[in-house]
Amino acid sequence: MGKIRINKLALELNIQNDQILDALEEKGHTVKNYMSSIDEAIADEIRELFAPKPTTKKVSPKATKKVTTKKTSQKVKKTTKEKPSKTKAPKVKTKAAKKTTKKSTTTVKTAKVAKTTGKPSTKDKANKEPVKVAKKLGLKIVKHEEKPTETKKKPITTKDKPAISPKKLVKKEPEQKPPTELSEPEQLPTEVKEESFEIAQLPENIMIRDLAEKLSCSPNDVIKELMGLGVMTTINQSLSFEVASKVADQRGFEVELIKDKSAIDFEEEEKENPEDISPRPPVVTIMGHVDHGKTSLLDAIRKTNLTNTEAGGITQHIGAYRAKIKDQFITFLDTPGHEAFTAMRARGAQVTDIVILVVAADDGIKPQTKEAIDHAHAGNVPIVVAINKIDKPGAKPEEVKKQLGEMGLLPEDWGGQTMFTGVSALQGTGIDHLLELILLQAEIMELKANPALRPQGVVIESKLDKGRGPIATVIVQKGTLIVGQPFVVGPYFGKVRALINDNGDKTPKATPSTPVEIVGIPEVPQPGDKFYVVEDERKARQYSETRLKKRREVQLAESAKVTMEDLHDQIAEGKIKVLNLVIKADTQGSIAAVQEAFSKLETEEIRFKIIHDGVGGITESDILLSSASNAITIGFNVRPTDKADELATREKIDVRLYSVIYEAIEDMKKALEGLLAPKFKELIIGRAEVREVFNLPKIGSIAGCHVSQGKMERNLETRLIRDSVVVYQGKIISIRRFKEDVKEVQQGYECGLSLENFQDIKQGDVVEPFVLEEIQT
Phi, then psi, of 573 in degrees rounded to 5: -85, 0
Q: Does 278-448 match 3-50 at the fold level?
A: no
Q: Pick the range with the lowest mean pLDDT from 20-24, 45-49, 455-459, 551-555.
A: 551-555
Helices (H), 656-766: 661-673
More reliable by pLDDT, 452 or 236: 452
Alpha helices of 29-104 — where are they, by DSSP H? 40-50, 53-59, 63-81, 88-99
* Fold entry, domain 278-448: Rossmann fold (3.40.50)
SS (H, E, C) 534-574: CCCHHHHHHHHHHHHHHHHHHHHCCCCCCCCCCHHHHHHCC
For residue 608, the cross-strand partners are 579
Answer with the residue of higher pLDDT: 499 or 267: 499
C-alpha count within 13 angstroms, C-beta hemisphere, residue 248? 27
- What average pLDDT does this structure show over 158-175? 39
The phi and psi torsions of 20 (rounded to 5 degrees) equal: -70, -40
- For residues 547-559, average pLDDT: 60
Residue 723 pLDDT greater than 80, yes or no:
yes
**Rounded mean pLDDT of 386-406?**
86
User: What distance lies between CA 30 and its chain's CA centroid?
Assistant: 34
Percent of the chain at pLDDT exceeding 70: 69
The better pLDDT of the pair 556, 328 is held by: 328
CA neighbor of 300 nearest in space, from 394, 430, 396, 422 = 430
Cα–Cα nearest to 320, from 431, 459, 448 = 459
Lowest mean pLDDT of 18-27, 362-371, 463-472, 677-686, name the range: 677-686
**What is the spatial distance between Cα 360 and Cα 351, in angstroms, rounded to a whole number?**
25
- How does pLDDT run across 77-131, given as a tens digit for each residue? 434 444 444 434 444 333 334 434 443 444 433 344 334 444 444 444 444 444 4
Average pLDDT over residues 725-738: 89
Q: How far apart are CA 288 and CA 342, in angstroms?
A: 11
- The residue length of the chain stands at 777
As its CATH architecture, domain 456-553 has Beta Barrel (2.40)
Q: How many CB atoms lie within 10 A of CB 380?
A: 7
- The hierarchical CATH code for the domain 680-775 is 2.40.30.10
Mean pLDDT check: name the lowest of 5-14, 70-79, 688-697.
70-79
Domain boundaries of the chain, sorted by first residue: 3-50, 204-257, 278-448, 456-553, 564-677, 680-775
CA distance 548 to 667: 42
Residue 562: pLDDT band (50, 70, 90) is low
- 613 vs 592, residue with greater confidence: 613
Q: Where are the beta strands (DSSP E) in 336-429?
A: 354-360, 383-388, 419-422
pLDDT at 181: 40
Q: Is the pLDDT of residue 275 over 70?
A: yes
Question: What's the rounded Cα separation, in Å, for the pair 559 and 627?
Answer: 12
3.40.50.10050, 1.10.8.60, 3.40.50.300, 3.20.20.70: which CATH number matches 564-677?
A: 3.40.50.10050
Q: Based on DSSP, count helices (H) and strands (E) in the chain, helices before strands.
A: 29, 36
Given a contact cutoff of 8 angstroms between Cβ atoms, the answer to whether 437 and 384 are in contact is yes
What average pLDDT does range 431-454 have in this prediction? 88
Per-residue pLDDT at 211 = 86
Q: In angstroms, rounded to a whole number, what is the distance separating the alpha carbons of residues 42 and 29? A: 9
Q: What end-to-end distance do the CA atoms of the chain give, in Å?
A: 64
Is pLDDT of 248 > 80?
A: yes
d(CA 460, CA 348): 7
Q: 341 or 448: whose pLDDT is higher? A: 448
Mean pLDDT, rounded, of the chain: 72
- Judge whether 113 and 119 are in contact, CB under 8 Å: yes
Q: What is the mean pLDDT of residues 195-207?
A: 70
Average pLDDT over residues 34-47: 82
The per-residue pLDDT for 473 is: 87
pLDDT at position 551: 67
Q: Phi first, then psi: what are they for 304, rounded to 5°?
A: -130, 175
Task: Tell whether the model's pLDDT for residue 10 goes beyond 80.
Answer: yes
CATH number of 3-50: 1.10.10.2480
